[in-house]
Amino acid sequence: MQVTLTLANDISTDIIYPGRFMATVLPSETPQFAFADDLAFNGRLKAKEVPAGSVIVAGQNFGCGSSREQAVSCLKGHDLVIVAKSFARIFLQNAVNLGLRVVVCPGIEAVEGDKLEIGATLVRNLRSGKEFPVIALPPSRQSIIDAGGLIAFTRQRLMQLKKAV
């Protein structure tokens, strides 16, 4: 997976999804406003120059600030993976609920263009050869992300229960 953007600490939801677009709430429409104030990156996203599965690497406290769900849905809409040293609590819960792939990796070191191999217990930077331990999410939360979010997870569980009856 290629690193498409690197960010510092304390990236707020207002940077990810500016407040002036809060009237747009449909997950099918929010991706166009991802990082809207970073014209170059937003343009690359809109032009579909960033392949699905690309990685954003961030520092500590990614997604701090307001609890806007659109900050997660706009990233999910581009099928991005977020590897950060840590996540703000509400952003992390929104990511789980919407099925955005997030990886907590306190020691991550990467620059744009690096290729990362992301595993359950470590992230390997293929350019530098360095490996960084991952703090795994609890299995229940990871199961929800793997299912594609809380709605998809619930739907799967209901179908399993229906089959068991």
Tell me how crowded residue 141 is: count the other CB atoms within 10 A of its CB. Answer: 16
C-alpha distances in Å from residue 117, one per residue of 3, 91, 133, 135: 11, 24, 12, 15
Phi, psi dihedrals of residue 115, rounded to the nearest 5°: -105, 135
Residue spans of the domains in the chain: they are 3-164
Mean pLDDT, the chain, integer:
95
Q: What is the mean pLDDT of residues 60-69?
A: 94
Is pLDDT above 90 for 75? yes
pLDDT computed for residue 6 by the predictor:
97
- Of the candidate CATH numbers 3.20.20.80, 3.50.50.60, 3.20.19.10, 3.40.50.2000, the domain formed by 3-164 belongs to 3.20.19.10
Judged by average pLDDT, the poorest of 27-31, 94-98, 110-114 is 27-31
Q: What is the mean pLDDT of residues 35-62?
A: 97
Q: In what order do the strands lie in the sheet with 116-118?
A: 116-118, 122-125, 131-133
pLDDT computed for residue 16 by the predictor:
97
**What's the burial of 160, exposed, middle or buried (CB within 10 Å: 0-12/13-18/19+)?**
exposed
Q: What is the mean pLDDT of residues 16-22?
A: 94
Q: What is the pTM of this model?
A: 0.93
